Amino acid sequence: MKTEVIKLIKIKLKKKKILKNEIKLKILKSIFQNKKITPNKRLFSFFSILKTNNKIFKHKNICLLTSKTNGLIKDFQVSRNTMKQLLNFNKVQNIKVNSW
């Protein structure tokens, strides 16, 4: 249990770092694509985009309850197995399991 919590904390920290870098990269791209800005500023933004490490942006989503990376439902950030368990015990509101 303790290792799962540590993994979850590490992934949350990575996500914060990724979001910060994504915002920075979007701003630099918008500066580079703007034709009204002076060429010096556009070149500076282009080179700073090249300097950023693109490997940072690769990350996996993780289940918030079990810390699994496979079979994740994007809307809920929960794996499909835990979602099935939650639905069977009526822990999730306004969502029903299709019963035939």
Summarised one tens digit per residue, pLDDT across range 25-37 is 888 889 889 989 8
> Is the distance from CB of 28 to CB of 48 less than 8 angstroms?
yes
Q: What is the pLDDT of residue 53?
A: 64
Q: Flag whether pLDDT at 57 surpasses 60.
A: no
pLDDT of residue 99: 64
- Element (H or E) spanning 55, and its range? none
